[in-house]
Amino acid sequence: MAPADDDCDFEITSRWEEILEWSAQSGRFSETTKTQVKAIYGGSKRCWVCRGGMADCAHVFAKEDDQTDCWDKAGLIPPGANLKSKENAIFLCKSCHCQFDNAYNPGIVFFPADLEFFIEWEKADQARRKEAAQNGAHVRRSPPTAAAYKAHQVGQARVDPNSIGGLYRTAVLDTFFASDLPKSVRREVLEYRSRLKQWHGEPMYTIRQAFIILGTLQVKLLDPEIKRQLRELQDLYTSDDLEDDDDDSDDDSLLRSVNRLNRGTKRPHPGPEDGNNAGPRGSVHGNPDDGECLGDPQTSPKDRQDCLGGSAKRLKRGCRSVDVTALACRDLASRDHLLLAPHRTLARRWQLGPDMTTEDAIRIRSHFMAPA
């Protein structure tokens, strides 16, 4: 039995080490901040989610979050906000902290219960900024603050004027320590953890955390209406042309260009309606409207020069020179020397035209560079 007990101790120790590692990811708050948060909750240091003891201050918007600069640049973080302040702090036990800080697959997230308020706020804010832009003024985005959300909730009679903040919904996406409980008890525990609760901090910090689950398959566990509201809000925050145009760096503009929808959508082969545009397979002849090309025996030497860009050119190769024009005309006179893709044509004025593929260019170059 001793080895089994040792294995059990090892598993428990490993589990707590994992929890401690997760709980340390959000960094530390100062003792002053912890005291301020403790005072808000009546001197209690219980976990905000499960009401368990031994809770500590955790960051809602993690200090190491790579999206911090993006959110600040987009105006989604309230002006003058400090991620080390009490507005970004929440008391969590080590178990809930571990689940909350999992950036890849969080087991717990919380966000404002009234997401429609944030949707309507953003729509109105975009209209305000658009009107200002029409008058030649640039106005930054103004996201809802904790005070604005609380005032709205008070106006809706959802919270008391003396409350610490508005109501927030906890989405529990993992049963974690409740998984071993009887089903009836497990349901009661999960219902308790996911109830609506007041929180004092900035709501935008919680929305950042909520957006993370939209990129996981666990989003299927959310109510469809909640999922729709979160996605609509995310779309509003990421489709603001005014904010994007003003704040886009050169790199952002470049990335927008390379990620455009129509990249690679040009048909590589002709469709039925393109039958008149392509010559027979293996031919360098294009449309009759394109004029005669190099492979046409009726083409005059002068025309052959024009096909290659005008005056005759010479390419220096080692100790001897090669007449490029003569070489090209000689090799291109027979269509067996140049097999273009069936959907390509050669216009008289082009040597390497915009419709030619890389493969076509390589074939032409191989003729130019081949020994005489």
Place of tokens 């509003």: 236
In 42-197, alpha helices (H): 68-73, 94-100, 115-134, 146-155, 183-193
The distance between the two most distant Cα atoms of the chain, rounded to a whole number of Å, is 99
pTM of the predicted protein model: 0.63
Tokens matching residue 223: 């109510």
Beta strands in the chain (DSSP E): 56-59, 89-92, 108-112, 167-172, 197-198, 314-317, 320-323
How many alpha carbons fall within 13 Å on the CB side of residue 57? Answer: 23
Tokens matching residue 204: 């935008």
The rounded distance, in Å, linking the Cα atoms of 66 and 14 is: 28
CB of 49 closer than 8 Å to CB of 190:
no
- Quick one: which of 201, 14, 176, 211 has its CA closest to 95? 176
- Quick one: which of 29, 39, 12 has its CA closest to 85? 29
The tens digit of pLDDT for each residue in 138-182 reads 899 999 999 999 999 999 999 999 999 999 999 999 887 777 778
The tens digit of pLDDT for each residue in 29-80 reads 999 999 999 999 999 899 999 999 889 999 999 888 889 999 999 999 988 8
